[in-house]
Chain A
Amino acid sequence: MLKMHGVCLSYGETSALADASLVVAEGEFVCLRGPSGSGKTTLLLLAGGMLHPTSGRVELAGHDLYGLDASARAELRATAVGFVFQTFNLVPYLDLADNLRLAGGGHRSLDRAHVIAQLERVGLGHRATHKPRALSAGERQRTALLRAMLHQPRILLADEPTGNLDPANATIVMDLLSEFHAGGGTVLLVTHGNLGADRADRVLHLEEGRLASQPSVSH
């Protein structure tokens, strides 16, 4: 599903990611751990086609991601990738239902009734007309996660999705990720904590821009 070969990203003299190679198989749940500033987010953005590597090659869903032009890369993100961020990144002036309708990069029209039904599935149906600022952090992250999954992507790239949540909400979010994984989806979860490692098929460690694998976690 995702292959990174010798990917480097430098800003002048500073190396954000050094010679990273990674293979995430279709349907695999990979947890990428590392301290703050170790390059986890950079790796995730590179995997999602949001950053140009200084060198190396990234393949996503069979495409040479950076061999594609910007438009094709955007289309691939819209159809095959779901992003989840620590800060939720909901659009502040849209209510929850309309935030969900942004999913899929505008490639398909999402019916409002359909997205409200999806919100009900995660216990947020009554919040459909609320703006993000009226929601708790947990509710916002559930909405963001739902938005990332709504267009049925092949891979979810989650950047510390539980970083701003209390344990109860963090568990709900991890349950949603597990549910996506159980449905055959691929997950690359980035975290600096322990949460999520126990649900992953494999845990990788990133430190100072260098990637090292850890033994697979068996379930």
Chain B
Amino acid sequence: MSTLALILREALHRRLTTGLVLLALIATVALPVAVFLSGQASKRETIRLMRDLGYNLRIIPKETDMPGFWARGYSNRVLPEDCVQRFLQRPDLSYNHLIAMLNRRIDWNGTSALVTGIATEVAPRGKQKPPMIFTVDAETLHVGHAVAVSLSLTKGQTVVLRGASFRIAAILSEKGDVDDSRVYCSLADAQRLLGMREQINEIQALECHCQDPAIDTLPKLRQELESIIPEGRVLRESDIAVTRKRQRQMANRQASVFVSIVLGAAAIWIAMLFALNVYQRRSEIGTLRALGYRSGYIGRLFLGKAALLGLFGAVLGFALGTGLMQLWGPSIFATAPGQVRTEWLLLPAALVVAPLFGMITALVPTVAAVMHDPAVTLREDG
């Protein structure tokens, strides 16, 4: 009679104990799976939300008069438009989501408007991701709220700006900052309007390595930039970068504490149930010993049961954890319901980890079963 058959029969015979162990193993898998999936969804959602906060790096010409830059909000010096292309061949950079811009403040029928020409966002090789900012088609404008109110502009209206005709593609919602005075157009249109062909005065970017907040990455960013655009300098909006780092680190800490608590509780639970199982089976252990079965065989009965239940727990726990997150995810991540995704790679991982976890937690009771003096039970029975 095979060991597996014996394990299965015993597991089915003691359904309550088996069920409780299985429940603990399901929880052991389901909760980390759910936490992982929610963590991944949270990460994606955070990235999206953080992206909404905007770029955190500004690359401007090195010779910029900085007091004037902060007063105007843009550099009065320029860079060649093609300098942004230099980033694209360097996959090892800390820069991503690069967008070339040209900014100049103009007077538009008595209203001060900040013309911002934006190019299509580009990314270094191997780092392509969905763009963080809208694109503006040629001969169209996206008008900031304050400008639109001041000039009574409406979406779809055709306007003339410095002799060129534009269709208003969007009126931007009120943001309460300088963006309300912006008029976005394509970079080519801005260069033509402002007479600054093939020139830009800023590249905005996102720092893509969020490291330990104790490490200041600015020197590294500057060193990288020096090798690419020696005529440029980089400014980092530290509030956005720090917020991004802290949020991710907090989420990771929270998940690891939660998972540790669950695993610890499940380990104690399983160990206690296996101890109970050993106690219930004292007579059986004594009988098997009397029949000539060795310690290794007794050990295999318990560890094999733990491993087998671990396999079932892995499959059911994966299904439960994934199912619950698919069910509840949309209400947790209301802004992006599609963010919770099934991670199929977790299943083979669970199929390895859960049986190991079961066997490790059942180890002490198994050793107790192997060390148990069968004569004690057999004498008690007699």
Contact = CB atoms under 8 A, between A and B. Distances in A.
B13 A85 contact: no
Contact of B286 (A78, A89, A103, A147): A89
Interface stretch (A91-99, A117-125, A206-214): A91-99
Interface string A139-182: 00000000100000000000110000000000000000000000
A160 B1 CA distance: 28
A74 B296 CA distance: 11
Nearest 7 interchain pairs by C-beta? A78-B292, A105-B292, A93-B13, A77-B292, A83-B290, A89-B287, A87-B381
A77 B382 contact: no
Given A45-B375, A74-B293, A93-B9, 5 more contacts: A77-B290, A90-B287, A92-B284, A93-B10, A102-B1
Contact of B283 (A45, A51, A86, A89): A89
A81 B378 contact: no
Say which size band chain B's interface belongs to.
20 to 34
B375 A81 contact: no
Nearest to A147: B291
A50 B290 CA distance: 7
Contacts of A91: 284, 287
5 contacts: A45-B379, A89-B283, A90-B287, A93-B12, A101-B1
B374 interface: yes
A45 B12 CA distance: 32
Contacts of B292: 74-79, 81, 104-107
B290 A103 contact: no
B382 A104 contact: no
A92 B283 CA distance: 10
A78 B293 contact: yes
Interface in A42-87: 42, 45, 48, 50-51, 70-71, 74-79, 81, 83, 85-87
Contacts of B284: 91-92
A83 B379 contact: no
The DSSP consensus for interface residues of chain B is helix
A50 B378 contact: yes
A197 B29 CA distance: 61
A42 B289 CA distance: 16
A147 B283 CA distance: 16
A186 interface: no
Contacts of A86: 381-382
B1 A77 contact: no
B382 A102 contact: no
A94 B54 CA distance: 68
Contact of B291 (A87, A105, A160): A105
A48 B290 contact: yes
Interface size class of A (residues with CB under 8 A): 35 or more
A84 to B, nearest CB: 9
B378 A42 contact: no
Interface string B279-317: 000011011111111110100000000000000000000
A85 B288 contact: no
Nearest to B373: A51
A51 B375 contact: yes
A74 B378 contact: no
Nearest to B376: A51
Which of A71, A78, A93 has the largest number of chain B CB atoms within 10 A?
Answer: A93
A81 to B, nearest CB: 7
A70 B378 CA distance: 18
Nearest to A91: B284
Contacts of B288: 102, 105
Contacts of B283: 87, 89
A32 B98 CA distance: 95
B294 A50 contact: no
Contact of A70 (B290, B295, B379): B295
A39 to B, nearest CB: 10
A61 to B, nearest CB: 13
Nearest to A160: B382
Contacts of A92: 13, 284
A48 B374 CA distance: 12
B382 A106 contact: no
A147 B294 CA distance: 18
B1 A89 contact: no
B375 A50 contact: yes
A50 B292 CA distance: 10
Contacts of B9: 93-94, 98
A34 B289 CA distance: 26
A159 B381 CA distance: 11
Contacts of B293: 74, 78, 105-106
Contact of A106 (B12, B14, B286, B297): B297
Contacts of A93: 9-10, 12-14
